[in-house]
Amino acid sequence: MKDELKYLTGFGNEFSSEDERCPGALPEGQNSPQKCPYGLYAEQLSGTAFTAPRDENKRTWFYRIKPSVCHDVFEPLNGVSVHLTHDWGKISPNPNQLRWRPFDVPTRQEPEVDFVEGLHTICGAGDSRCRSGLVIHVYLCNASMKDKAFYNSDGDFLIVPQLGPLNITTEFGKMRVEPNEICVIQRGMRFSVTVFGPSRGYILEVFDNHFQLPQLGPIGANGLANPRDFQTPVAWYEDRDVLYKIINKYQGKLFLANQDHSPFDVVAWHGNYVPYKYNLDNFMVINSVSFDHCDPSIFTVLTCPSNRPGTAIADFVIFPPRWSVQEHTFRPPYYHRNCMSEFMGLIKGHYEAKAEGFQPGGGSLHSCMTPHGPDANSFKAASAAELRSERIADGTQAFMFETYYGLAVTEWASTICNKLDSNYYKCWKTLEKNFNPNQK
């Protein structure tokens, strides 16, 4: 689907696209003319307040066959994705180190489960009604969405496929997102997901603000995730008069409305509020070349900043293949306690600082001020390793969702999924006492 994507030239700029079947569909010089070309309707999608500062203002103009207001009444969608929740008070808090084995994916032999039906909430904090907080989900599905579209009124989705590619149709066009790629579908954007068998992945949802590239500071003009490597869809439309189900996530609940036409009828669009994808292989790693560790924030791909300078509602951080050349330094991540909460997932491979129980498709959560670090075997091996330049994380892609919110774990993640590893704490139990006051 290479021909259905184009590269962004930078975050915050203006982009435009029109379906090649209708040249000239973009009006010239006026967003909402009295009569749009081809008899289209003009519709604006606003991602920020109208009066947001110009460099922060997000909006896109659609030129579509029918406006999205043409649908029946929304009714509660009962019995679907019962494990999607914003209820953070259902179970008691748990400050322990938590680790999940790979979450089960429905097989081809089981009843069909599509992307929306396969949403399961692991943990979260805050309130979408006040636009404050975030949620971490996994999706576990085996079937494509058929004549069905989904949009989220609560926040933005950062989607991290782990098993199986996703073909995502949006109002802006199509994206194919493979494991080791990510995509962001922002608040209000309608989309449908096609899969090709059992599929699994992670989702970071933020209620407030939008994801952006982190500031580079003394790094300078280049490095980390570069704007040129992000891609957004090329306009594509379908003109189908069929019964379509529109599912809306609103205040943590799902609602359904029917309409008599495809929601993917946008012939042209322009704006700076767009879905986009990014290949994690394009990340330019910045790392130490002398001694000590750089903080993991140096691996930030995208951030959703809070109103407190330097503090993120959520960061998306990766630990990609790279050279490690530190001198006289313990190379795996050191033991630490953090004022942030850290959820880690594994797309592929074997993460250097975790025991064998941390597997692709699983996860771990180290909450605010909960101590964590390398397991006993990793510590022993790294302490005795020859210090030389070496490649680490080849064939591996681990990531972290980091937030300053205290995260509450859901009932599904605690008990129902039956994947929580009750023996996780034991990976540190065999750390030995090496202290000897008579030997430096």
Active site residues: 293, 336, 342, 366, 372
Other C-beta atoms closer than 10 Å to the C-beta of 426 total 13
7 alpha carbon, distance to own chain's centre: 19
Q: Which of 215, 226, 204 is nearest to 311 (CA)?
A: 215
**How far apart are the C-alpha atoms of 374 and 352, rounded to whole Å?**
8
Decide if 37 contacts 24 (C-beta within 8 A). Answer: yes
Q: How far is CA 258 from CA 3, 67, 204, 252, 299, in A?
A: 32, 14, 28, 20, 43
Give the number of other Cβ atoms within 10 Å of residue 137's Cβ: 25
Contact 292, 364 (CB under 8 A): no
Mapped onto helix, strand or coil, the DSSP state of residue 356 is: coil
Contact 189, 275 (CB under 8 A): yes
Q: Token match 């790094």: residue?
A: 219
Write b or e for each residue in 167-177: b if 16 or more Cβ atoms lie within 10 A of its Cβ, otherwise e: bbbbbbbbbbb
CB 395 within 8 A of CB 374: no
- The C-alpha angle with vertex 425 and arms to 424 and 426, in degrees rounded to 5, equals 90
Report the chain's C-alpha Rg in angstroms: 23
Distance CA 159, CA 165 (A): 11
Q: How far apart (Å, rounded) are the C-alpha atoms in residues 431 and 374?
A: 10
* Under 8 Å between Cβ of 224 and 204: no
Q: Closest by alpha carbon to 124, among 83, 160, 162? A: 83
Q: State the Cα–Cα distance between residues 205 and 152, nearest whole angstrom.
A: 10
Angstrom distance (rounded) from CA 113 to CA 226 = 36
Q: Which residues contact 330 (CB under 8 A, 6 or more apart)?
A: 382, 383
- 235: tokens are 């306009």
